[in-house]
Structure 1
Amino acid sequence: MVARYAAGAYAKDMRITSRGHSCLELSTVDGSLLLDPGSFSDLDGAFENKAAVLVTHQHPDHADHPALAAALEADPVLQVYAPAGLADALRTELPAARRAQVHTVHEGMDFIVGGIRVRTFGGTHATIHHSIDPIANVGYLVGDGAVGRVQVFHPGDSYQVPIGVRPDVLLLPVMGPWGKMAEAADFAAAVGAPVWVPIHDGLLNGRGTGLFDRQLGAIAAHQGANYQRLEPLTEYRAAELLAAAESSQTDAGSVEGHA
């Protein structure tokens, strides 16, 4: 088998750093983006040297509103992309000179920020309960998918499958009041990414994290994917995660072939 994901083949490899829960940094040689900086995450220094912040929805575990406003006031270059409700709220709190740094997003958009291509998907937060009104939720596909580049998908709080794309890395929400493990596994299988990175786990204790990792790790392996938990504040090269996933698939195929 030819190694599609040989790490050395990625001239503009994506680097991924988790800040806990659903907050991650995605960086290339062109720029660095911050996704879903919420109140459950470690935001110390998170906004430094970022071209933009991408926010999936307005819930505080994904969008620390005061932190976002402070970051925008401190940095005249930083851009924030968010659904209408949050974007409008941020603009009302900012001085006039900073309001143009906040951009409203919805599904179906395609733009470049920090030298990185971003496309938007989805549109609605997963249902928590029928008595709770739904809110906007935007999933972000980061990276252009060209040869030598990695694509990462962050769905926010939604299991809406992005149509027409197959990301390399899926940031997989594993636990919340709106989902269950079976739905997470089915969603990941439908997306078809070779690497599953668990996110949205800030409500889990150590025992819960271990249980989810074992169960979803086994399901991922059965699907031919690699389930990879990221240590907080540790930078990972996406191409190395992908190469490890491909190696695991090759090893599994060799074992089956000699069974």
Structure 2
Amino acid sequence: MHITKLGHCCLIIEISGLRILTDPGKWTAERHASIKNIDVILITHDHSDHIHVESIKTILQNNPQAKIYTNSGTGASLTKIGIAFETLEGTSKISIKDVELEAFDCDHEVIYSSVPLPQNTGYWIGKALFYPGDSLTNPGRPVNILALPVTGPWMTIGQGIDYAKSVKPKKCFPVHDGYVKEGSLGVFHGLPQKMLAGAGIDFVPLKAGESTDF
């Protein structure tokens, strides 16, 4: 599995000839026009840092073969602007090019008690990678690779570290770090790497624009 991090939660995941794009949101909008050869677009929930409408239109123009998979909550917003999608939510699964994509509905973490929250769906990719979206819910089964949220208005870095310890993946890498300037990423990447090493978890400090193989 080859993963390129465009930034925040926007990833290009290449596995068995399948190219998957996750959560093309506003933080990476300037990079979306150059995205090519995408087969699948996965969107976890309807927040602007995970879905940027104008970018979605551009990505689909440049990748007419791509299909969007998301939950019904996000899909309702796509329907309003005439963008087609296929529903992948609950615990449903599909197989594309022999790669299994499985939904895992999990609640968006609370931002504030009176702030409404969208439907959030995490995704298993190829039975190896688990990306929870904006959730710190333990999927309750072994995880090989975890896309680990490390910061945001709904979590602390300590909660992210504890989440990784509870899930116990073999490897993890940071997502949801677009709020932090690159020069200030040290604590959000360095601290998890240090704390998780002692738990036997290999934290790979992947930055925007970088790629790695898992």
Could you tell me the TM-score, scaled by structure 2's length? 0.91
The higher radius of gyration belongs to 1
Helix, strand or coil for the counterpart of 1:124? coil
Residue of structure 1 aligned with 2:195, choices 210, 216, 219: 219
Distance 1:33 1:70, change over 3 A: same
The match for 1:15 is: 2
Q: Partners in 2 of 1:139 and 1:74 — Cα distance? A: 26
Q: Partners in 1 of 2:96 and 2:79 — Cα distance? A: 20
The match for 2:168 is: 192
Q: Partners in 2 of 1:152 and 1:26 — Cα distance? A: 10
The match for 2:133 is: 156
Helix, strand or coil for the counterpart of 1:32? strand
Richer in helix (by share): 1
Q: Partners in 1 of 2:206 and 2:80 — Cα distance? A: 36
The match for 1:78 is: 66
Q: Partners in 2 of 1:114 and 1:32 — Cα distance? A: 10
The match for 1:54 is: 42
The total of aligned residue pairs comes to 212
Richer in strand (by share): 2
What is the deviation of 1:215? 1.6
Q: Partners in 1 of 2:16 and 2:40 — Cα distance? A: 15
Q: Partners in 1 of 2:4 and 2:182 — Cα distance? A: 20
What is the deviation of 1:74? 5.2
The match for 1:183 is: 159
Over aligned residues, Cα RMSD in angstroms?
1.7
Q: For residues 155-193 of structure 1, what are the alpha-carbon distances to aligned partners after superposition, in whole Å with 9 as ceiling and x for unaligned?
A: 111001112x22211111100000012211111111111
State the AA in 2 paired with 1:219: M
Moved more, 188-197 or 65-74: 65-74
What is the deviation of 1:43? 1.9
State the AA in 1 paired with 2:154: W
**Structure 1: gaps spanning 5 or more residues:** 1-13, 145-150, 239-259
The match for 1:234 is: 210
State the AA in 2 paired with 1:43: H
Give percent identity, aligned residues only: 27
Q: Partners in 1 of 2:108 and 2:125 — Cα distance? A: 19
Matches within 5 A, 1:101-140: 102-140=85-123
Distance 1:111 1:131, change over 3 A: same
Distance 1:73 1:206, change over 3 A: closer
Q: Partners in 1 of 2:17 and 2:181 — Cα distance? A: 37
User: CA contact under 8 A between 2:33 and 2:59: conserved in structure 1?
Assistant: no
Q: Partners in 2 of 1:68 and 1:206 — Cα distance? A: 25
